[in-house]
Each structure stands twice: as C-alpha cells, then as structure tokens.
Chains A and B, each alone.
Chain A
Amino acid sequence: MPSGETTTQNDTPLADPAEIRRAMEYYADRGWTDGLPVVPVTESYLAEFLATTSRDPDEVLMPMPQLNRQCTVRLAAINAALAGCRPDYFPVVLAAWESLTREGYATRGIWQSTTGTAPLLIVNGPVRGRIGLNSQGNVFGSGFRANATIGRAIRLGAINALGLRPHQLDQATQGTPAKYTACIAENEEESPWPALHAQFGLDPSDSAVTAMIIRSCLHIEARHTTVPEQLALDITGTISRTGALIHETISALVVLSPEHARLFSRAGWGKADLSEFIYQHAVRSRAELAAVGKDAVARQTRWRLPADHPDAVAQEPPDDPDAPVQLIVSADAIQIVVAGAPNAGVSSIVETFGPVDRAPMVVKVEEKK
C-alpha cells in the first residue's frame, strides 16, 4: 500500500493471518525448522525456485549414504524457500551445496561430529550486487536478507534433507552460532588484491561460492600498528592458539578488513606473502604443547593428546623443549579474503576444520539466462 493512503475494507488481505500462523506452527510441530519460523512452501512457489536453474530437480547435490539420505536440487529448493530466500537467490544456494560436497568433510560425516562445525559460504562476483549480499559493515552480523537466508538454506537442508537434527544424528557437543546461518560476500571493491574466485582461476566477472567447514570466528583488534610484520604476528598468534589444536595441524581463513588489507598492500605484501608468513610463524614449542597436554599425536586419528596417553605415538623426549613445532602443514592452509567496512583495524580469523593443504572449492554460480 503506498504511504499516505488509509486502509479501507477493500484492502482486507486475502490471507488470514491466523491461517498463516497455523501453517508456521505446523512446520514447527513437524520438526522442519531450525527453531525460527519458516516460510510455507507450495508447489507453485517451489516452481519459481526450480525455474532459475536448468538442472534436473532429481539431481543429487550431496549424497549421504551413511545416513540413507541425500540432498537433491528439489530438496535444496524447498529448503531455500523455507529459509526465506527469494527465488533468484537459488543459483547461489546450488553453488554452495556443490562447493560443500566437493570440500568433502560434510559427506565424510563432520556434521554428525561432536566438534559441532558449521558451513561458511563466501560469495564473489556480480551476483553480490544483483541480490543484495552484504560484503561491507556488519558482514558477519544480521540485517541482510540474502546473507541471512542463503546460509540458513544450507542448515535447513541439513536438518530436513539429510536428517541432521540436534540430539539425534547431529551430535555437536556445543555447536556454534554459525549453525543458524553463515554467508558473507567478499568486499572486492575495497580489496587491494584479486578476489578469492579470481585467485583460483575464475574470471572476475564470474560469480562464485566457496564453502568452508568452520568452528570458531575470532576477532583481531589491531587499530594502531602500521607495521605489517606486527599485524601478521598478531594474526598468527591467534591462529596458533592451543585450544584450536584438534589435529596435529590447523587451518584458517583470514577475513581482513579493508584497512588491514591496505596496510599489507601498501607495504608490498600480496595474499600469498601473508599466507606464507603465517605458515612460517605458526609454531609452538614442545614445552608449550606439553603444558596443555597436546605434545603428541594419536596413532590413527593424528589428534593431539598428551605424550603419556595410551594412544599416543611413542616419541623420544626432545633435546630442546623450546624448539618450535610447526602447526600448519602448508601455506595453502591459510586463505585470505577481504570483507567488512573500511572504518577500523578490526579483522577476523575463521577457524576452518582439519589440516587443509589444498586450494578451496570455488564453484561458479550458474545463472539461467
């Protein structure tokens, strides 16, 4: 209704709000939600989502044979609609599922794990502007429908298509707030470097989604330094915190604010220089690891545990307990994107799951012409 007009009896809405509430309660009662209300989905509304892709509705996006389940294009569309996506967001949701499947941890069962990970989606390219994805201020926060609902579409798919409900097949000890939704866009316009998708072979005019499996999102406050080595060490110290050490080595996504990215760029550093610096400096001494009971690794899983644990790989006491132990397996374990407002020296470390030593899974968004 245009502003300034008054309501008349003829403006009475066609839908009865009580009926809408009844539909929402029905979805909640069936356990088809993440705890928040969902959008009721009809066949005709589902058709609007499926019309945005040339893919077969029965095509399997993510197989999960150990659970007797799978996520198809149709199930992904239903859950995107439930999540509150607009139909034109759906090509991004499809690329997200494909990236998650290729990333590999989800299909190997990480979403059932006690660690309690969540998917993080990073979107690049012109689709960001077309559907209103936020890449600037409050990029990890609330307030933007595309970010909020695209991330949520994956969670609802995990619950409804794959059957990963908490207290049942989802065994997360605590989980993470990112399990509601976690989708950011890269602030390519205020980055001094190539965007993530261009870095891994796509054209900058393409749109892409890169999915990662994450546990924590930690923030870096460094508002006053102008020395790249100081800022890089501050970041490295956060990445190499002992609490993050599940496995023998760790991996991370560094989400730099434009101000921090420019600090490095002005000093002549590229993304690869920062990744390499972090790789070289992410160390703890054997004594530091022993002090927290993580100086050895388990025989099969290579998880970190105390040297006197019955499952520990036997090792000689070190000649020098202060000798550094490398905590990252290669510079590829550290990826870098730029996001957020250009208003402060504040950045984030996203702790990605597992000892990653390969390029991230960048998947092109296929928009139907």
Chain B
Amino acid sequence: MADGILLERAGVPAVSICTGSFLLPAQAMARAYGFGGFEFATVPHPIASLDSQQIEARARDVLPEVLRILGLES
C-alpha cells in the first residue's frame, strides 16, 4: 500500500491494487503519508484461495479502473 504512494512521490505513476477488505487500512496508510486523496483500485476479496483462471479474471476486471486512475484512455 505504501509502495504506490512512494512511487508516485518519486515521479513514477503507480496504482496500488488491494481487495475491498483492505481499503480502510489502505486509506489509513495514505493518510499516514499525508496523501489522503491517494486512490486505490480494489478487487473483490479473497485472493489467496483463487486458482489461476480466477486470478486472471480479477486482473482483467480491474484493468479499466487501473487505467482510469492513471489517467489513460482505456
């Protein structure tokens, strides 16, 4: 969660992806860095117990959101 913020601060466009269950701690981390508006992309929880196809589906589904946060045309 901190890595995306640190990359942005270093001038590297970055999007941190977490499951919805981690959004509150992610936002708390962003506030700890004085970056309360940092936007996270979220995917449904859980991740740890998914198979490869389900993981790929999660990645496909979140991609438009990642591009939107980066400010790119999808």
Interface centre among B2, B24, B32, B33 (most CB of A within 10 A): B32
A68-B33 CB under 8 A given contacts A310-B51, A310-B52, A310-B55: yes
Asked if B24 and A168 sit within 8 Å, CB to CB, the answer is yes
Q: Which of B48-68 contact A (CB under 8 A)?
A: 48, 50-52, 55
Asked if B32 and A171 sit within 8 Å, CB to CB, the answer is no
Asked if B22 and A69 sit within 8 Å, CB to CB, the answer is no
Q: Is the interface of B mostly helix, strand, loop or mixed?
A: helix
Asked if B32 and A69 sit within 8 Å, CB to CB, the answer is yes
Q: Could you say which interface size class chain A belongs to? A: 10 to 19
Q: Which of B20-74 contact A (CB under 8 A)?
A: 22, 24-25, 28-29, 32-34, 48, 50-52, 55
Of the residues B24, B29, B48, B51, contact of A167 by C-beta under 8 Å: B24
Asked if B32 and A163 sit within 8 Å, CB to CB, the answer is yes
Chain B residues lying within 8 Å of A310, measured Cβ to Cβ, are 50-52, 55
A170 to chain B, nearest CB (A): 8
Chain A residues lying within 8 Å of B33, measured Cβ to Cβ, are 68
A171-B51 CB under 8 A given contacts A66-B2, A68-B33, A69-B32: no
Query: Is A52 part of the binding interface, using a Cβ–Cβ cutoff of 8 Å?
Result: no
Asked if B52 and A68 sit within 8 Å, CB to CB, the answer is no
Query: Is A272 part of the binding interface, using a Cβ–Cβ cutoff of 8 Å?
Result: no
Of the residues B25, B48, B51, B52, contact of A169 by C-beta under 8 Å: B25
Chain B residues lying within 8 Å of A66, measured Cβ to Cβ, are 2
Query: Is A112 part of the binding interface, using a Cβ–Cβ cutoff of 8 Å?
Result: yes
Interface centre among B24, B28, B33, B51 (most CB of A within 10 A): B28
Chain B residues lying within 8 Å of A292, measured Cβ to Cβ, are none
A and B contact pairs by CB, cutoff 8 A, 5 listed: A163-B32, A168-B24, A168-B28, A171-B25, A309-B51
Top 6 nearest A-B pairs (CB, nearest first) are: A168-B28, A310-B52, A171-B25, A169-B28, A68-B32, A67-B32
